[in-house]
């Protein structure tokens, strides 16, 4: 399985493994090839929880809105 994948709408997921379990880091790209880490958590289920996606999506909108000002 790849270490990163697209989640849709400009959101991507890193899949690091650690002692605590399988971690996830949700991130996005900004103009100028900048990468912004939005949210991280330890995944407990097969599917990425909707709550975690909502947090990352809201933060992505905040970052992109601030970047365009």
Residue 56 burial by Cβ neighbours in a 10 Å radius (0-12, 13-18, 19+): buried
Query: What tokens were used for 67?
Result: 């970047």
> Model-level pTM?
0.84
Q: What is the pLDDT of residue 24?
A: 92
* pLDDT 10s digits, 12-62: 999 888 787 788 999 999 877 789 999 999 888 888 899 999 999 999 999
- The domain limits of the chain are 4-68
CA–CA gap between residue 39 and residue 41 (Å, rounded): 7
Q: What is the pLDDT of residue 18?
A: 77
């Amino acid at each position: 399985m790849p270490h990163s994948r697209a989640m849709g709408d400009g959101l991507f997921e890193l899949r690091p493994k650690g002692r605590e379990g399988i971690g996830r880091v949700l991130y996005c790209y900004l103009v100028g090839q900048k990468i912004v880490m939005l949210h991280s958590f330890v995944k407990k289920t097969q599917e990425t929880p909707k709550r975690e996606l909502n947090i990352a999506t809201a933060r992505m909108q905040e970052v992109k809105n601030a970047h365009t000002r």
